[in-house]
């Protein structure tokens, strides 16, 4: 239930934010976009829980409160914003996005010379209180002031103080004195700031713990993770998304987003500038890491709402006032303009005489928009229902007569482990299945999805990438009773362990020197066919996956995921014994033998 | 035994239920009186009854050991014979008696009891667990009659060997069975024992001459009185093609709602006690040669009114099952998450709802309500080690009581062959203030053959309909 509750809160806070930035209509459109966008639905489906469902609400609400505080200049809203920020920090590691985006926005406001005492109040309230609150949390602690991810806020705060001083001096001094003072101030402050920031940067960069964290660095340099931290790069959510996933997850919003950015510039307020910066940055981030599509989704909705409301405004006005006779129409617009101005609604297009189009065209445009929006809604509910509402461990396929066929192999295997192994048995598998095994099979696992320390993950990666005898020695040392692998070759389930094997080698090799990636590459690729390397065909992973597989598909049979023949169809196991294979071979469980079975 | 009650019609269901209810009321009175009189007159320690011919048919094909014997009784004494003593546990040793029934057929019919003039015999249980069976009418001097005894015992197959390869046959050993009845209370002149085996593949059987194997049957005997064979206990090692399943425990939770439904939830723990596999379970082998002794599905039979079925375990919905709504019953083919091979076990929950009107009736005199349901769970044909059935009646019900509705001493709390326990408690359900009264019946060792006898669990309670909110 938490997902739907928070997603409704998100759409309310989105409405509040966009209403404040632009208009009520734009706010409503933005809220309806965020309510239907598949990217966010994927995290907030009823029946599942993802902390990102909470985090996106906290994100939008923090931004709303912050924008409110710098618009009103009220300390109260600034403190509210920092409290909301505190909630965000406690819910999701993505809070660094806020603590960097807000200073960037403030810096941009300084650069375009929009400094005001309201900005100063709101910003300083937010940064100082927010940082203090964040330090309360044990996970963040002193990182909030010591790591470089958080420095930008302090830097901008210092700069803002300088600007404030300059502004104050400008008010008090004469013209000539002011110029001198300014020159003096700027040079000294640049020198001082330069020295300090140089010192801080070198200190932070040299000390190993205070550097930018791996995930943040891989955002700045998309190739960073694959070079240095394979465990981050291996997570599919950290990969760069395919183009189609932008269209798929954001649909109309991503198309309207560009025009939304343009319409934010007319006129440019601090709020719309914020949306522009947020939009541009998150497009970049989501292009680096598919998971951050989630940060893009709210801003895409806001911008799309603004764009669509502008378009609709023009169309509706045209439909109402436009006619073949131009004379009375201009008068009406004139009247309307006055009315609008007195109501003090910040609406870029409402006052303009321009942009009236013939009524028929306008009606056509409205009809078109209604069509596009209903198509969008249809797509989103379809995707939400089909793509994101089913659990990822139960796969479905449609049979030709319209029925569904269920691949329930994961639960079959976990249920077998739960029922027919010792309660104290220890199970080793790739780390993706760690929490699943603990929860569903109720057995102790060697590695789980915790990534604070990746040595244990590397240990399993190394064993899987080792020949059978070596792997057996390692598993025996670790007191492992059962090993299971996910194998999709029979039914074409592509996220199986052979496809993840690249990462096992890389993560294993990252910690243990005896695993070298180039040994596993045959003719330039990871492959399991005839051209595969010898080392590859000897690995435990290969053997456990393809053990007796040839007896089902034949010696020349194909692996349906890779679409190739097997490099070595005759797999013999000496140190492991097959104990269970699920119906579609997706989960294969092996027992680590006490002593090698030399007869086989 | 009332064979053929399995496919009873909708009208018939109600009538049998009512009939059984009345029968029990009578039977319990009769039983009490009879046992009192038996103990008062002292045990019939007289001379043994002459059995001119004893024919036994031992069925090894099902989950339990079913023995059907025909005793041709002859009164060789001088006084009329009104009863005889039958010691089931002495004749079949070391096995738990699950059910026994005596029928007297027409003596001129030659032991064929399928005729119309067959009468069930009342019996009482002595201190030594022997049955004192009262004949329908006293047997005159030199008179003859034929009595059929239908017995069900627990099965104790032994896996020989205990570990096999998946490609091998499943062999079971049946041991420690006396083919020569030597009971001091029966004077047997001639006897035959015939075994029905689960398959024709027999590895070994003890030769007690004359012994004959034809197809899937082995006939021991006839043995004449006085021709004492040197040994009488036999061992048979035979292939068993069926899975050897046991329900370790089944908990049936019946919740009577204040409204229209009765919810039934059955929690199963089923184990395959067959031989384990030496080298693990291989899917290749299974797809190539799916052995029948690997249990791949359970068949469930529900009352025809059943609806809202579900089949779950701790991991959620089990997606593989098939229900057929037929005219007289609902049959479900429930496929567990994985095939059960020897040594493996599984837990699951099966649930359904029933309409109240066909299972609860109001006693016109007292106004109290009676819920009566089958004791046996929906999974058919598997021996049950422990069964718990509990009924939660609506909140604020009073005078709650109940138990098993059985026509003999078996399955009542006086049953010496098994543990039968009733208890009551309180169960909190959604939105309950104080909890609902629960009446629980626990039993051990129940045979699937009992689905053929009307065998019910009843709970009586008073409930004011004004409280139906």
ipTM of the complex: 0.82
Chain A: closest CA distance from residue B281 (Å): 5
Give me the mean pLDDT over the B259-264 stretch.
88
Give the pLDDT confidence score for residue A220 in this predicted structure: 72
Question: Does the distance separating the beta carbons of A578 and B279 come in below 8 Å?
Answer: yes
Test the B interface: residue of A48, A393, A394, A411 with most B CBs within 10 Å: A411
A95 interface with B at CB cutoff 8 Å: no
Whether residue B113 contacts residue B105, with contact meaning beta carbons closer than 8 Å, is answered with: yes
Lowest mean pLDDT among A397-401, A487-491, A521-525, B15-19: B15-19
Whether residue A33 contacts residue A73, with contact meaning beta carbons closer than 8 Å, is answered with: no
Look up tokens 């409290």; give the residue: A83
Q: Is A389 helix (H, G, I), strand (E, B) or coil?
A: coil
Whether residue A308 contacts residue A256, with contact meaning beta carbons closer than 8 Å, is answered with: yes
For residue B222, whether the previous peptide bond is cis, meaning omega lies within 30 degrees of 0, is: yes
Q: What percent of chain A has pLDDT over 90?
A: 38
**Closest CB from A415, A551, A580 relative to B281:** A580
Helical pair A270-288 and A252-264, crossing angle rounded to 10 deg: 140
> Tokens for B321?
């099952």
Question: Does the distance separating the beta carbons of A408 and B337 come in below 8 Å?
Answer: yes
Please give the Cα distance from B214 to B235 (Å, whole number).
Answer: 17
pLDDT band at B251 (very low <50, low <70, confident <90, very high): very high
pLDDT band at A555 (very low <50, low <70, confident <90, very high): confident
For chain B, the average pLDDT equals 80
pLDDT band at A128 (very low <50, low <70, confident <90, very high): very high
Chain A: closest CA distance from residue B277 (Å): 9
For chain A, the average pLDDT equals 85
Closest CA to A48 of A8, A86, A6: A6
Give the pLDDT confidence score for residue B226 in this predicted structure: 75
Please give the Cα distance from B216 to B61 (Å, whole number).
Answer: 10
What is the enclosing helix (H) or strand (E) of A276?
Answer: helix A270-288
A411 interface with B at CB cutoff 8 Å: yes
Closest CA to A482 of A576, A393, A545: A576
Chain B: closest CA distance from residue A413 (Å): 8
Question: Does the distance separating the beta carbons of A419 and B346 come in below 8 Å?
Answer: yes
Q: Are strands B245-256 and B383-392 parallel, antiparallel or unpaired?
A: parallel
> Tokens for B389?
């059935």
Q: Which residue has the higher pLDDT, B31 or B355?
A: B355
Over 70: is that where the pLDDT of B9 sits?
no
Closest CA to B371 of B226, B255, B229: B255
pLDDT digit string, tens, across residues A41-66 = 888 887 777 788 899 999 999 999 99
**Closest CB from B279, B281, B337 relative to A415:** B337
Q: What percent of chain A has pLDDT over 70?
A: 90
Q: Which residue has the higher pLDDT, A322 or B372?
A: B372
Give me the mean pLDDT over the B430-438 stretch.
85
Question: Does the distance separating the beta carbons of A418 and B314 come in below 8 Å?
Answer: yes
> Tokens for A506?
């890389």
Please give the Cα distance from A145 to A83 (Å, whole number).
Answer: 18
Give me the mean pLDDT over the A457-470 stretch.
91
Test the B interface: residue of A438, A443, A581, A590 with most B CBs within 10 Å: A581
Highest mean pLDDT, choosing among A29-33, B160-164, B415-419: A29-33
> Tokens for A253?
């919003």
For B430, residues 6+ apart whose C-beta sits below 8 A from its C-beta are: none
Lowest mean pLDDT among A254-263, A269-278, B7-16: B7-16
User: Which residues in chain B are closer than 8 Å to A548, comparing Cβ atoms?
Assistant: 282, 284
Give the pLDDT confidence score for residue A334 in this predicted structure: 45
Give the pLDDT confidence score for residue A351 in this predicted structure: 46
Give the pLDDT confidence score for residue A124 in this predicted structure: 92
User: Which residues in chain B are closer than 8 Å to A578, comparing Cβ atoms?
Assistant: 279-282
Phi and psi torsions of B443, nearest 5°: -145, 155
Chain B: closest CA distance from residue A419 (Å): 6
Residue B36 burial class via C-beta count within 10 angstroms: exposed 0-12, middle 13-18, buried 19 and up: exposed
Give the pLDDT confidence score for residue B8 in this predicted structure: 34
Give the pLDDT confidence score for residue A31 in this predicted structure: 94
| Chain B, nearest residue to A418 by Cα | B346
User: Which residues in chain B are closer than 8 Å to A415, comparing Cβ atoms?
Assistant: 313, 315, 337-338, 346
pLDDT digit string, tens, across residues A328-387 = 444 444 444 444 444 444 444 444 455 678 888 889 999 999 999 999 999 888 888 877
Question: Does the distance separating the beta carbons of B347 and A419 come in below 8 Å?
Answer: yes
**Whole-model pTM above 0.80?**
no
A337 interface with B at CB cutoff 8 Å: no
Over 70: is that where the pLDDT of B113 sits?
no
Highest mean pLDDT, choosing among A83-87, A147-151, A205-209, A333-337: A83-87
User: Which residues in chain A are closer than 8 Å to B345, comparing Cβ atoms?
Assistant: 419-420
């Amino acid at each position: 239930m938490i997902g739907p509750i928070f997603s409704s809160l998100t759409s309310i806070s989105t409405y509040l934010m966009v209403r404040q930035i632009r208009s009520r209509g734009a706010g409503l459109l933005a809220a309806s976009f965020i309510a239907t966008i598949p990217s966010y639905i994927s995290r907030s489906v009823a029946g599942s829980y993802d902390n990102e469902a909470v985090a996106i609400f906290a994100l939008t609400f923090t931004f709303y409160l912050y924008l409110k505080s710098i618009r009103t200049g009220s300390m109260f809203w600034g403190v509210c914003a920092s409290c909301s920020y505190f909630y965000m920090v406690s819910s999701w590691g993505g809070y660094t996005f806020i603590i960097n985006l807000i200073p960037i926005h403030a810096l941009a406001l300084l650069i375009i010379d929009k400094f005001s005492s309201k900005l100063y109040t709101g910003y300083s309230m937010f940064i100082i209180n927010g940082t203090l609150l964040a330090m309360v949390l044990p996970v963040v602690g002193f990182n909030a002031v010591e790591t470089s991810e958080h420095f930008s806020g302090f830097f901008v705060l210092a700069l803002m103080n300088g600007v404030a001083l300059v502004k104050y001096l400008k008010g008090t001094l004469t013209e000539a004195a002011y110029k001198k003072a300014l020159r003096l101030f700027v040079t000294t402050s640049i020198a001082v700031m330069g020295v300090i920031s140089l010192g801080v940067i070198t200190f932070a960069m040299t000390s190993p713990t205070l550097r930018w964290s791996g995930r943040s660095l891989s955002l700045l340099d998309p190739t960073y993770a694959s070079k240095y931290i394979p465990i981050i790069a291996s997570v599919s959510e950290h990969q760069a998304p395919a183009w189609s996933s932008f269209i798929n997850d954001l649909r109309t919003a991503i198309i309207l987003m560009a025009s939304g950015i343009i319409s934010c510039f007319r006129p440019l307020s601090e709020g719309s500038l914020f949306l522009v910066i947020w939009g541009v940055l998150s497009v970049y981030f989501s292009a680096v890491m598919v998971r951050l599509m989630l940060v893009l989704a709210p801003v895409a909705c806001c911008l799309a709402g603004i764009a669509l409301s502008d378009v609709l405004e023009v169309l509706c006005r045209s439909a109402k006032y436009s006619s073949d006779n131009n004379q009375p129409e201009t008068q009406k617009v004139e009247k309307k303009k006055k009315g609008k101005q007195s109501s003090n609604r910040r609406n870029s297009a409402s006052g303009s005489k321009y942009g009236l189009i013939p009524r028929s065209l306008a009606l056509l445009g409205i009809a078109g928009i209604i069509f596009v929006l209903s198509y969008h809604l249809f797509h989103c509910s379809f995707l939400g229902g089909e793509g994101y509402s089913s659990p990822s461990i139960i796969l479905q396929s449609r049979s030709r007569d319209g029925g569904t066929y269920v691949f329930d192999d994961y639960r079959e295997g976990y249920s077998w482990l739960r029922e027919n192994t010792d309660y104290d048995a220890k199970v080793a598998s790739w780390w993706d299945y760690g929490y699943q095994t603990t929860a569903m099979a109720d057995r102790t696992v060697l590695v789980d999805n915790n990534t604070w320390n990746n040595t244990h993950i590397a240990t399993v990666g190394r064993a899987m990438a080792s020949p059978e005898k070596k792997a057996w020695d390692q598993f025996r040392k670790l007191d492992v009773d059962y090993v299971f692998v996910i194998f999709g070759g029979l039914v074409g389930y592509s996220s199986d362990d052979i496809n993840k094997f690249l990462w096992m080698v890389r993560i294993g090799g990252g910690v243990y020197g005896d695993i070298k990636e180039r040994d596993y590459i045959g003719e330039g690729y990871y492959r399991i066919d005839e051209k595969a390397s010898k080392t590859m065909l000897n690995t435990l992973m290969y053997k456990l996956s393809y053990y007796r597989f040839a007896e089902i598909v034949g010696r020349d049979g194909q692996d349906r995921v890779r679409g190739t023949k097997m490099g070595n169809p005759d797999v013999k196991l000496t140190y492991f014994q097959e104990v269970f294979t699920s119906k579609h071979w997706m989960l294969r469980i092996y027992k680590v033998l006490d002593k090698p079975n030399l007869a086989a | 035994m009332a064979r053929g009650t399995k496919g009873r019609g909708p009208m018939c269901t109600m009538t049998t239920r009512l009939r059984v209810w009345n029968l029990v009321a009578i039977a319990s009175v009769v039983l009490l009186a009879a046992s009192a009189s038996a103990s008062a007159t002292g045990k019939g320690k007289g001379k043994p009854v002459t059995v001119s011919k004893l024919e036994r048919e031992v069925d090894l094909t099902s989950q339990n050991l079913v023995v059907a014997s025909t005793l041709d009784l002859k009164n060789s004494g001088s006084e009329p014979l009104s009863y005889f003593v039958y010691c089931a546990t002495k004749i079949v040793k070391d096995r738990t008696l699950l059910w026994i029934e005596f029928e007297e057929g027409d003596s001129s019919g030659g032991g064929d009891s399928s005729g119309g003039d067959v009468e069930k015999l009342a019996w009482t249980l002595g201190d030594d667990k022997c049955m004192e069976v009262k004949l329908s009418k006293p047997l005159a001097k030199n008179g003859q009659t034929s009595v059929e005894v239908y017995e069900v015992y627990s099965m104790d197959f032994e896996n020989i060997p205990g570990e096999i390869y998946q490609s091998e046959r499943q062999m079971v050993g049946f041991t420690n069975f006396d083919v020569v009845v030597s009971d001091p209370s029966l004077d047997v002149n001639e006897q035959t024992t015939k075994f029905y085996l689960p398959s024709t593949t027999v590895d070994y059987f003890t030769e007690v001459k004359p012994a004959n194997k034809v197809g899937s049957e082995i006939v021991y005997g006839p043995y004449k009185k006085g021709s004492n064979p040197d040994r009488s206990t036999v061992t048979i090692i035979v292939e068993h093609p069926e899975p050897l399943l046991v329900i370790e425990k089944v908990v049936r939770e019946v919740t009577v709602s204040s409204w229209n439904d009765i919810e039934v939830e059955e929690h199963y723990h089923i184990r395959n006690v067959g031989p384990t596999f030496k080298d693990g379970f291989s899917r290749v082998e299974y797809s190539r040669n799916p052995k029948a002794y690997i249990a791949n599905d359970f068949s469930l039979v529900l009352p025809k009114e059943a609806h809202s079925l579900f089949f779950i375990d701790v991991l959620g919905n089990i997606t593989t099952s098939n229900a057929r709504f037929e005219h007289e019953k609902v049959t479900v083919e429930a496929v567990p998450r994985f095939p059960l091979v020897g040594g493996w076990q599984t837990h699951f929950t099966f649930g359904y709802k029933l309409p109240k009107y066909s299972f609860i009736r109001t006693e016109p005199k007292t106004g109290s309500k009676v819920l009566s349901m089958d004791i046996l769970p929906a999974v058919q044909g598997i021996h049950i080690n422990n069964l718990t059935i509990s009924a939660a009646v609506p909140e604020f019900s009073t005078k709650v009581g109940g138990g098993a509705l059985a026509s003999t001493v078996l399955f009542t709390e006086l049953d010496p062959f098994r543990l039968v326990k009733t208890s009551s408690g309180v169960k909190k359900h959604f939105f309950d203030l104080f909890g609902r009264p629960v009446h629980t019946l626990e039993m051990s060792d129940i045979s699937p053959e009992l689905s053929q006898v009307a065998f019910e669990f009843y709970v009586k309670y008073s409930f004011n309909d004004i409280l139906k909110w």
